[in-house]
Amino acid sequence: DIVMTQTPLSLPATPGEPASMSCRSSQSLLDWNDGTTYVDWYVQKPGQSPQLLIYTRSYRASGVPDRFSGSGSGTEFTLEISRVEAEDVGIYYCMQRKEFPCTFGQGTKLEIK
Amino acid sequence: QGQLVQSGAEVKKPGASVKVSCNASGYAFSSFAMHWVRQAPGQRPEWMGWINTGIGNTKYSQKFQGRVTLTSDTSANTAYMELSSLRSEDTAIYFCAREGGSGWYANWGQGTLVTVSS
């Protein structure tokens, strides 16, 4: 199985300031057949189900503010928040779907300072 | 956008089976695959399997092969996940998640807590 590793596990953030988190996969998530990189980002807010933020490496899901952006290639990926807001508190997961079984990182918990 | 509503919490004894339902609305049910993901307390989500809700073919995680069965009822716009031979380690919240255009999870159900305890 592809192992997804996220850092940091805990991310204290200041409202109005940028924040960044990383995700590393044990194998490349690039499919050479179609040029697609199969990594998505989800956020799980306290007491809620996960919700989609970024799909296919860098595409924002419908309704997601443009403060959120995804980047990276191969095995290294980044989720950036340009200006953190209090509502961004939650656990952020990366997930690969290049191969079954789909696998998730252990999560980065964003907290407000 | 769509909405997924799951059945309520369950308490089961070791060795029993549980069947969780996921009722879909607001989109063409049989046009999008459904995935099932579980999350044990304090753990990362764990993918269990996938069903093509239109034709019924499935793909299961090797970890759950032989214990999990995914089905769908297009007349009721409902997907089901049945897990057998339950053990305490199966205590978790079970989610259904609708696939978006090319595989990401566009919608999630609210989750169903399954507790396995003697």
Each residue of B30-46: pLDDT tens digit? Answer: 999 999 999 999 999 99
Average pLDDT over residues A21-35: 96
Dist. CA A70–CA A80, nearest whole Å: 6
- Give residue-wise pLDDT tens across range A69-111: 999 999 999 999 999 999 999 999 999 999 999 999 999 999 9
- Average pLDDT for chain A: 97
Are the C-beta atoms of residues A17 and A112 closer than 8 Å to each other? no
Q: What is the mean pLDDT of residues B85-106?
A: 94
Least confident of A22-26, A94-98, B97-101: B97-101
Residue identified by tokens 């029993």 is B16
User: Nearest CA to CA, how far is B113 from chain A (Å)?
Assistant: 12
Stretch A26-44: mean pLDDT, rounded?
96
Going by pLDDT thresholds of 50, 70 and 90, the confidence category of residue A27 is very high
Cβ–Cβ below 8 Å for A100 and B50:
yes
Average pLDDT of chain B is: 96
As a whole number of angstroms, the distance between CA B92 and CA B43 comes to 9
Q: pLDDT-based confidence at A42, cuts 50/70/90?
A: very high
| Residue whose structure tokens are 């032989």 | B66
CA distance B21 to B112: 9
Residues of A in contact with B100 (CB under 8 A): 52, 55
How far is Cα B81 from Cα B4, in angstroms, rounded to an integer? Answer: 14
Please choose, from the candidates B1, B32, B111, B103, the residue with its C-alpha nearest in 3D space to the C-alpha of residue A63: B1
Query: Rounded distance, CA A24 to CA A29, Å?
Result: 10
- pLDDT digits 0-9 by tens, A50-65: 999 999 999 999 999 9
What 8-state DSSP symbol labels residue A102? P
3-class secondary structure, A106:
coil
Encode chain B in three state secondary structure: CCEEEECCCEEECCCCCEEEEEEEECCCHHHCCEEEEEECCCCCCEEEEEECCCCCCEEECCCCCCCEEEEEECCCCEEEEEECCCCHHHCEEEEEEEECCCCCEEEECCCEEEEECC
DSSP summary character for residue B13: -
Tell whether the model's pLDDT for residue B102 goes beyond 90: no
Per-residue model confidence (pLDDT) at position B36 = 98
Q: Which residues from chain B sit within 8 angstroms of residue A106, using beta carbons?
A: 44
Query: What is the pLDDT, as a whole number, of residue A47?
Result: 92
Q: Check residue B101 and give its pLDDT.
A: 77
Is pLDDT above 90 for B100? no
Residue B62 CB burial class (10 angstroms; 0-12, 13-18, ≥19): exposed
CB contact (8 A) between residue B95 and residue A51: no
Residues 5-34 of A with CB under 8 A from B: none
A46 phi/psi in degrees, rounded to 5: -50, 125
